[in-house]
Amino acid sequence: MAAEINKHYLELKESYLFSEIARRIREWQAENPDRAGELIRMGIGDVTRPLPGAVVDAMIHAASEMGRAESFRGYGPEQGYDFLREKIRGYYEGFGVSLKEQEIFISDGAKSDLGNILDIMGEKSRVLVTDPVYPVYVDTNVMAGHSIRYALSGEENDFLPMPREDYAADLIYLCSPNNPTGAVYDRAQLSAWVDFARERGSIILFDSAYECFVTGDLPHSVYEIEGAKEAAIEFCSFSKKAGFTGTRCGYTVVPEELKRDNVMLNRLWLRRQTTKFNGVCYIVQRGAEAVFSEEGKKQIEENISYYRENARIITETLDRLGIYYTGGKNSPYVWMKAPFGLSSWDFFDRLLNECRVVGTPGEGFGKSGEGYFRLTAFSTKENTKEAMRRMETLFR
């Protein structure tokens, strides 16, 4: 008998969003070769600021350690080195959240673990995702053969869907600050989701990759909400916080209080990681440790402030133009309504052709994204200002 494939992969929709964006850009560049250098990209969620100096210095020192017999390290602990887990534990204390070191697992980024966590969940899980949605939540569950339901959002709820009695779900994906909308749940809203999950035995998979952009009294972590340790797993990343998009490091928190069928999910995740993962390299973890040093925190805040200023430039432009948006104030993403009643892709084409600016059509993030558009604050300040100047010309 021939080997069988996982046929759920055949159920995946083609990942057309960014490939279609790339195709349209290529066509525009071919038609406008003399203007190709004017293109400003504000669509992809990648950072532009370099790694902080404190991080680079720590990685250089760690690399030199690996070149000496007395300080060389081979396989490290799959769940991460204690020196980094302890720093993350201390970071959570700043939010008033007490964690145990063994509840923190170092990973190569939140994206990986958001999919990998399904290894320890039921085979036919019912999954609830908000819409618009980060595509990884949907695709990884399609691959696993799970059933998916969407909590739709829009201007009527500020793109922050809330639980409903008819939502039946084993797993609930929440992202706050949200990608792509930039919307952020407040404490009361997040408490409603935690209560909902606890009452039904659901598990919240909480993506906090953008928590470093949160200001004021908005929650950075789901564990700031009472009872969340019995109902949620949290995923976070150094990608946006410290520019690790190409360096790869993140962490997942699985509280010991979280149990189903009288089994601690923390132990299941530890077993999964020690079987399928060899850990993040020592050099990268030393760099991540430096994120929490006094010099590292100062340098990182400078970078985050830089992106916040870019977001302010974008939102002030939209305010002047009277365009509805979410995000920007506590997020690097600005989710704007496409003007002139245009569809997401029609506005993409107009912005490209008339302004030489690239963003991301909201339709690519789900049904509720049609008619909206995502801009990111991760460009340079000069390009952000110029892009907004060009955008304003559309309204003259």
CATH 2.170.190.11 fits 8-50+295-393, yes or no: no
Question: pLDDT per residue over 39-55, tens digit each?
Answer: 999 988 788 899 999 99
Domain ranges of the chain: 8-50+295-393, 53-293
Cβ contacts of residue 15 below 8 Å, gap of 6+?
135, 139
Q: Above 80 in pLDDT, residue 73? A: yes
Give the model's pLDDT for residue 17: 83
* Residue owning tokens 């560049």: 29
Q: Above 90 in pLDDT, residue 297? A: yes
Residues 195, 114: Cα–Cα separation, whole Å:
22
Give the model's pLDDT for residue 51: 96
Record: fold of 53-293: Aspartate Aminotransferase; domain 2 (3.40.640)
* Residue owning tokens 């039904």: 200
Question: pLDDT per residue over 167-193, tens digit each?
Answer: 999 999 999 999 999 999 999 999 999
Average pLDDT over residues 349-378: 96
Question: pLDDT per residue over 220-236, tens digit each?
Answer: 999 999 999 999 999 99
pTM for the model stands at 0.96
Q: Above 70 in pLDDT, residue 15? A: no
CB 362 within 8 A of CB 180: yes
Confidence tier at 116 by pLDDT (50, 70, 90): very high
Q: Above 90 in pLDDT, residue 378? A: yes
Which tokens belong to 35? 């203007």
SS3 content of the chain, % helix, strand, coil (to 5): 50, 15, 35
Nearest to 105 by CA among 257, 259, 251: 251
Give the model's pLDDT for residue 319: 97
14 CB-side CA count, 13 A: 5
3-class DSSP assignment, residue 207: strand
Q: Above 80 in pLDDT, residue 16? A: no
The 3-state secondary structure of 141-155, one letter per residue = HHHCCCEEEEEECCH
Cβ contacts of residue 153 below 8 Å, gap of 6+?
130, 131, 132, 159, 160, 161, 181, 183, 368
Nearest to 364 by CA among 16, 117, 51: 16
